[in-house]
Amino acid sequence: MSEVTQYSRRGAVAVISIDSPPVNGLGHAVREAVLRCLESALGDDEVAAVVIHGGGRMFSAGADIKEFGTDLVLLPPTLRDLIDAAENAGKPVVAAIHGVAAGGGCEFALGCHYRIAAADARIGLPEVTLGIIPGAGGTQRLPRIIGVPAALDFIVQGKLNPAAKAYEVGLVDELFEGDAADAGVAYAEKLIAAGRGPRRTRERNERVEAARGKKEIFEQYREGSSKKARGLEAPLAAIESIENATNLTFDEGMEAEREIFARCVASEQSQAMRHAFFAERQVAKIPDVPKDTATRDIAKVGVVGCGTMGQGIAMAFANAGIPVKVLEVSQDALDAGLDKIAKTYDSSVAKGRLSPEDGKRFLSSIAGTLDFGDFADVDLVVEAVFEDLALKTEIFGKLDAVCKEGAILATNTSTLDINKIAATTSRPGDVIGLHFFSPAHIMRLLEIVRGDATEKDVVATSLALAKQLRKTGVLVGVCEGFVGNRMLLPYLREAYFVLEEGALPQQVDKAICDFGFPMGPFTMLDMAGLTVGYLIRKHQAATRPENERYSDIEDRIVEMDRLGQKTGSGWYKYEPGNRTPVPDPDIEKLVVETSEKLGIERREFSDQEIIERCLYPLVNEGAKLLEEGIALRSSDIDVVWLYGYGFPRFRGGPMFWADLIGTKTIYDKLVEFETVHGELMKPAALLARLAEEGKGFSDL
Ligand code: 3H9
């Protein structure tokens, strides 16, 4: 017994409970305590079998990720020492899994002689999602238990699998309902009665031998993985280690796994992915809004506007089991919007992404209305109409008049000043921005925009709501474009300038894609449609300094009625029914003519230069957002870009990536850019300070 374990005896069965909330991570103190319990059990003549289970919510979430990169990982007993001790035990050891057994937690169970799992448990080796491979024998033991093809699926996909699946492939021996310790003891008693002894995974060679020399299994898997997990090192490293299990002895395979794990854990990709893991958990922690802040109940929701955004928002709520009323100004507009929603569900059902029952249920929880009076009983309204301040304030006036006291009034504006909107109501404390990203029922990011007067419980409710909608909510302050779109602006601006100076859209897109984004800026623009950007630029023209450089190429494309994918052409052209962008000689001509008109001599661009030109100004804008307090933390900015804009996870987000490159390198380059391209490239004061102090954004 210790602070992190409980030890008890039930007849001839010793029960070890791992008791280290919140997730029973196998940090050094836990490993040491569990090993001590195990030694006690094995040294006790009255004990005939041992059960290991997790106290609290789960068996174990695996190694303590915070220990990576510190000496604690290698401080004995290591996780491998602990697992070896269980496997080498002379009495049967049973792992009784409930909740989650992930990573090292699952590996611990694989080293036990028998495994049973609660029917609703989830089991897996998600290490690749952290840029590493299972490093405590998972790549050697799992294929010995479930065979090579299934082990490849488990380890390379890195998912937490339902217990039923784990049972089906033979990872667990039995499923149970109810308490894990009770089930473990009952199972152990059955083993004792049947005279079953230890069953050591390391000795079960049959299934790995079956795959010996069969290179094709692995080649095929590598090919698939390079396509699906473009640019990622860990899946390939995991395949290498599993292949070793088939060709080497257990001990040799373990040694090779240790080396591959060490290589992965030290890689920039793993550092970045571990950063992302903690960043997305940190994001919900708001210094002045404590975790126990009471939240408001959100049981019924209203959405104003049934255009593309309104439809997606309505579906996001419906999919989370929250009934929605959607308001439009005319019956025609309402019918068209609801019809589109029905079609979207039909298409998800047809593609097998949604069961017909769910499709029906979700659709039936969305009702239409033309009457603001129908919002009298809703707990939250999200306004999702066109970006026009006068229109929005008019709507908020109506909402203010009809909505019940305590209802949250949210706007989905992506550019407008929420404080101005709030000020026109009698309840500015209830007003907040909920900035969804299109398609709103799919995209994970939700920017939660806190106005000057927004109440803390409205912030807390919005963060909880994001979770309920299975989204990642990031709290940001009021400014034009908030965090995401404000940083998008310099990124796109430089992409246009680079065209004027010599590159072509397909070259810029390829460079950005090779960097790891799912698509480059021009493909993205075509997909999103060019109209909104056009209108925003026209709106901004009034405040743009006269001598500021401005690229009008995209305006001219819009004026040619090329509005993006939906019209069959934009920056690229598209074959009917095909979303693949095809480079268009007409656009190349337009680009070259623009350079001529501007008197710019076109030149070659390397991919590296494109990355620096487009992404350094994006980081610089991030620095300004931190200076202004619009973003709380640099890691919040990373989360916005990971979830809203496809910034490659293996680079951790723009601010983490900037730290890896070095703030000094980025600052120096921006200074150089400023001398050539002018004021727009001027480094932020914060970036200058960090560069001078030799610090990164994560030091803030
Ligand atoms: C590994 O095992 C390597 C081995 O192969 C080899 C070693 C040699 N470590 O997610 P939650 C924290 S690699 C440290 O909100 P949920 C988390 O940050 C590991 N901390 O709960 C949060 O902290 P805070 C492989 C961890 O119920 C708190 O616990 N394992 C770890 O929504 C609650 O977490 C994985 O990749 C950890 N391993 O989800 C599994 N796990 O409260 C990683 C969590 O301060 N974990 N924390 O913000 C998960 O996927 C989820 O936590 C889990 C529970 C699904 C288990």
Q: Is 183 in the pocket of ligand 1 (CB under 6 A)?
A: no
Q: What average pLDDT does the segment 319-343 reach?
A: 96
The residue type of 87 is E
**CA dist., res. 56 & res. 671, Å (int):** 54
Q: Which of 46, 67, 87, 127 is catalytic?
A: 127
pLDDT at 408 over 90: yes
DSSP state of 49: E
φ and ψ at residue 487, rounded to 5 degrees: -75, -25
Distance of CA 141 from the midpoint of ligand 1 (Å): 22
Report residue 1's pLDDT band, with 50, 70 and 90 as the boundaries: low
Cβ atoms of residues 3 and 31 within 8 Å: no
pLDDT of residue 427: 97
Ligand 1 within 6 A of 103 CB?
Answer: yes
Q: Which helix (H) or strand (E) holds 54?
A: strand 49-54
Whether the Cβ atoms of residue 314 and residue 366 lie closer than 8 Å to each other = yes
- Say how many Å lie between the CA of residue 77 and the centre of ligand 1: 20
Residue 25 CA to ligand 1 centre (angstroms): 7
CA of 436 to the centre of ligand 1 (A): 27
- 142 CB less than 6 Å from ligand 1? no
Angle between helices 308-319 and 356-364 (to 10 degrees): 110
Phi then psi dihedrals of residue 34, to 5 deg:
-65, -40
Instruction: Give DSSP secondary structure letters for 378-415.
Output: -SEEEE---S-HHHHHHHHHHHHHHSPTT-EEEE--SS
pTM: 0.94
Ligand 1 touching residue 257 (CB < 6 A): no
DSSP string, 542-601: TTS-TTS----HHHHHHHTT--BGGGTBSSSB--TT----B--HHHHHHHHHHHHHHTPP
pLDDT, average across residues 281-293: 95
Mark whether 588 is an active-site residue. Answer: no
Q: What is the H or E stretch that residue 657 is in?
A: helix 654-661
Q: Which atom number of ligand 1 is nearest to the Cα of residue 129?
A: 36
Q: How far is the CA of 61 from the centre of ligand 1 (A)?
A: 5
Q: What's the 420 CA to ligand 1 centre distance in angstroms?
A: 41
CA of 62 to the centre of ligand 1 (A): 7
Task: Quote the radius of gyration of the chain (alpha carbons, Å).
Answer: 28
- For residues 544 and 510, the answer to whether their CB atoms sit within 8 Å is no
Taking alpha carbons only, the member of 295, 359, 368 closest to residue 331 is 368
What would the two tokens of residue 432 be? 């907040």
* Cα 175 from Cα 160, distance rounded (Å): 16
CA dihedral angle for residue 466, residue 472, residue 477, residue 480, rounded to 10 degrees: -110
- 23 in contact with ligand 1, CB cutoff 6 A: yes
Interval 98-133: pLDDT, tens: 999 999 999 999 999 999 999 999 999 999 999 999
Distance between CA 483 and CA 489 in Å, rounded? 10
Ligand 1 neighbour 136 (Cβ under 6 A)? yes
Q: How far is CA 20 from the centre of its chain?
A: 26
Q: Which of 18, 23, 60, 286 best tests ligand 1's pocket when mutated (most atoms within 8 Å of CB)?
A: 23
Which atom of ligand 1 is nearest to 73's Cα?
8
Q: Decide if pLDDT at 490 tops 90.
A: yes
What pLDDT shows up at residue 281? 94
Average pLDDT for 292-319: 96
* Token code pair at residue 3: 């602070």
Protein residue closest via CA to atom 50 of ligand 1: 61
Taken in order 398, 400, 403, 409, the sign of the CA dihedral is positive
* Tokens read off for 364: 């039936």
- In terms of Cα–Cα distance, which of 424, 425, 480 is closest to 449? 480
Average pLDDT estimate for 244-265: 97
Check pLDDT > 70 for residue 248. yes
377 in Cβ contact with 324 (< 8 Å): no
Q: What residues contact residue 151 under an 8 Å CB cut-off, 6+ apart?
A: 139, 142, 143, 145, 242, 245
pLDDT in tens, 575-614: 998 999 999 999 999 999 999 999 999 999 999 999 999 9
Confidence of residue 532 (pLDDT cuts 50, 70, 90): confident
Mean pLDDT, residues 184-197: 97
Closest approach atom of ligand 1 to CA 277: 18
Query: Hey, what amino acid is at 267?
Result: S
Q: Return the amino acid letter for 120.
A: D
Query: Which position among 87, 107, 257, 383 bears the catalytic label?
Result: 107
Q: What is the DSSP string of 509-520?
A: HHHHHHHT-SS-
Contact 389, 397 (CB under 8 A): no
**Residue 484: predicted pLDDT:** 96
Q: CA–CA separation, 400 vs 542, rounded Å? A: 32
Active site residue 127: yes
**Mean pLDDT score of the chain:** 96
Ligand 1 close to Cβ of residue 385 (< 6 A): no
Please name the residue whose Cα sits nearest to atom 28 of ligand 1: 22
Residue 100, ligand 1, Cβ within 6 A = yes
Spatial neighbors of 376 by CB under 8 A, at least 6 apart, are: 402, 403, 404
CA distance from start to end of the chain? 40
Given the CA of residue 122, which atom of ligand 1 is nearest to it?
A: 55
Looking at the predicted structure, is the pLDDT value of residue 156 above 80? yes
Q: How far is the CA of 273 from the centre of ligand 1 (A)?
A: 13
Q: How confident is the model at residue 388 (pLDDT cuts 50, 70, 90)?
A: confident
581 Cβ closer than 6 Å to some ligand 1 atom: no
Per the listing, tokens 């019209």 go with 567
Structure tokens at 37: 């319990």
If one compares 500 and 416, the residue with the highest pLDDT of the two is 500
Q: Which residues pair with 17 in a beta bridge?
A: 6, 53
**Tokens coding 531:** 């109209």
Give dist(CA 613, CA 680) in Å, integer: 12
Residue 316: pLDDT band by 50, 70, 90 thresholds? very high
Residue-wise pLDDT tens digits, 642-663: 999 999 999 999 999 999 999 9
Q: What is the number of the ligand 1 atom nearest to the C-alpha of 58?
A: 56
